[in-house]
A and B are shown apart, each in its own frame.
Chain A
Amino acid sequence: MKKMKLKYDRSAYLLVLPYIIFFLLFVAYPLIFSLVLIFHRWDIVTPMQWVGMKNFERLINDPLFFKSIVNTLIFLFIHIPLQIAVALGFALLLNSRIKFRSMFRTIYFLPVVVSGVVVTILWQQLYSFDSGLLNRLLMIFGIPKIPWIVSPEMAMPSVAIMATWKNVGIYIIMFLVGLQNISAELYESSNMDGASRVQQFFSITLPLLNPTIVVVLVLSTIGGFSLFIEPYVLTGGGPMQSTLSAVLYIYNQAFYFNHMGYAATLGFVFAIVIFAVIMIQKKTVESESLE
């Protein structure tokens, strides 16, 4: 019996071994290595140099890192409500009985599967101040041109609009699933009670979509914190560092200036910030659910 159990255990270990190897190589090792890096200076090519807490000292005096975190929070502040509103709006439309519904669903999902770099280059052309399609359209209607990505004030909202366009498809699908799980009987009975469409939306649809909204909120927040491709390709973090996201700044420190140790320190602190925000979000959502 004992022998059989041992044999059974061995085959179980063998089955999980590929994942264990993957985990050790690509999760545990980089994680431990990045923790070691925090206390070193390393430019990839030359040997590591112990610097103690020097990376943290620099971080405290680094206004760019704090600016990049504020920029990321500004992005989240614009992007998340916009994402939820647009996704919910389109989901409601696609949930109604309209012609070519399947085709529209496919069209809205297309940007999700297109490469982020391709989408960003496309939007770079659209946003061009002098020759972009958006400004040409505005000029046809006699509206002054908008400095979409060349003005420090407009650049981050422009990035948020583009990111919303890119990702909204996936959230539309999520909201559609949520909407289709709401029983039609609820709407029928409320109709009989004389409820208007608006009343139905706020009293039935929205409360019952709450679990989906929470999922969308958490996923958007995590996605928003990892904002990188859009500012990297579209603006390079400018103008005036207004689109410099935290991940882009960490990337620049690591691969542009070859400051691996400092980048690891920034990443460590940024991970704490993300953890704190997610915890606050979780607590808020939990307390609202209890209420």
Chain B
Amino acid sequence: MAVHSIFIKAMVKFLLCLTLLFTGCSEKNAHDASVTGDVITLTYWPAPNPQEVQLADSIVRSWNRLHPNIQVKMQPIPVSQSTEEVLLAAIAGRTTPDVCSNIWPGALAEFTRLGGLIDLDRFADFDSAIISRTPADVVASLRDPNGHFYQMPWKTNPVMMFYNKRLFEVSGVTGVPRTYSEFYAAAKNVTRDTDGDGQTDVWMGERDIRPIWWQRWFDYYCFYIAASSGKTFFINGEPHLDQNASATVLEFFRTCYARDYFPHTFFQGGDPFLLERKATHFAGPYLIATLHSLAPSLRFGVVPIPVPDGHQGPVYTYGDYKNIAVFSTTKHPKEAWEFVKFLVQAKYDLMLLQIANQIPIRGDLLSNPIFAEYFKQNPLMIEFARQAVYTRSVDAAPDLKEIFDAISQEYEASAVYGKKSPMEATLAAQKRINVIVEWNK
């Protein structure tokens, strides 16, 4: 009986323990399930370069700390020939992230045509979020032809003219050229044969003479935007090339090549600006870090792109924009939008400057005290910050690559080889652009 009683007690204790164990486990499971159910996970794709990955990592850590119920998973855009191809394939396969911060406005038409993005102006606070940060005319230039906004302006790399101070000084050039006439006058002195062998050794400038479509962003296109006071190739989705501005720019480069201020050949054996074989170079702010690291003794300055004589008003230029978009595959558009707003806060814009040397598209860069210390330490970046509000991107037009190819072919024919008059080349480019646009309708 005693044995029986002990057995009964042992069995009861065992069952009790088992019950407690199961109860505990089930409670734990229930708790876990509720957490999983409450936590929203967003996927965010930044550009895959190390600086932007570092920046994204810092921002995402901050966000995740502050938003335990909306966790962001950062994953750099898969490396491929181009980000646009990756995103296009992801849209087609419906494997897009919730948010991406490497959206090139030129690819936007294709993304929206496929229904890959959501319009951001659906959110009640869109206007206040975008206008508080970005200049109104930049905002207007990013509006889709259908009237909606699919991108949050984030950063830009305004193309400006770098010049070699030493080459200007030894050539007797005192003022930095701001107009075409001043550029020619300086070029006449700067371009010369330094060792007396009958061959020119130093040029005023140099451009890749091959008709590579994106190369035009750093000559024809930034000069076109400057000469036309901020126009691009399209108005309300229809091609609208400013013929006078285009012909004026082609005439400028044609003169530079005809007078041999720019060479007709390729440089071999290194970057001619680094080697002090050309006095000017058109590039964005990222070049500053490169020059400081590769040629620490090089003395250089930065000014806006030269404009036609008699130009009035601010000097605009091309800025290589990269914006933020929310994809239509997201199940949490409101949360994704909150994360977008988080990304463009002033403190993260400061990090963008510090880590990636890229300019946030905001109007208060030079007035907001948060950026003051950075600009004090990086005075050359002030020029780019001033320029940033006067930048234009490419249009959100279909087949932009081929449109720039058309421009490149005509630039080569007219400016480099002088085989077509600037106006003939402009009209031929306009005609081909019309055919491309028409075919895409």
Contact = CB atoms under 8 A, between A and B. Distances in A.
A45 B413 contact: no
Contact of B92 (A45, A128, A238, A259): A45
Contacts of A150: 209, 264-265
B288 interface: no
A45 B210 contact: no
Is chain B's binding surface mostly helix, strand, loop or mixed?
Answer: helix
A57 B417 CA distance: 31
Nearest to B402: A257
A236 B266 CA distance: 14
A61 B92 CA distance: 31
Contact of A61 (B114, B211, B435): B435
A68 to B, nearest CB: 12
B417 A152 contact: yes
Interface in B94-147: 114
Nearest to A244: B409
A58 B401 contact: no
Nearest to B401: A257
Interface string B66-99: 0000000000000000000100110110000000
Nearest to B399: A257
Interface residues of B, number: 26
Contacts of A63: 432
Contacts of A57: 439
Is chain A's binding surface mostly helix, strand, loop or mixed?
Answer: loop
Contact of A46 (B88, B268, B399, B405): B88
Contacts of B85: 45
Nearest to A252: B405
Interface in A186-229: none
A54 to B, nearest CB: 6
Contact of B439 (A43, A46, A58, A130): A58
Interface in A28-51: 43, 45-47
A236 to B, nearest CB: 6
A240 B417 contact: yes
A131 B114 CA distance: 50
Contact of A47 (B92, B268, B401, B417): B92
15 contacts: A43-B88, A45-B92, A46-B92, A63-B432, A128-B268, A130-B265, A150-B265, A152-B417, A152-B419, A236-B210, A238-B210, A238-B211, A239-B417, A240-B417, A256-B401
Interface of A: 43, 45-47, 54, 57-58, 61-63, 128-131, 150, 152, 236, 238-241, 256-257, 259, 262
Interface of B: 85, 88-89, 91-92, 114, 209-211, 264-265, 268, 399, 401-402, 405, 409, 412-413, 416-417, 419, 432, 435, 438-439
Q: 7 tightest A-B contacts by CB?
A: A45-B89, A58-B439, A45-B92, A46-B92, A45-B88, A257-B402, A61-B435
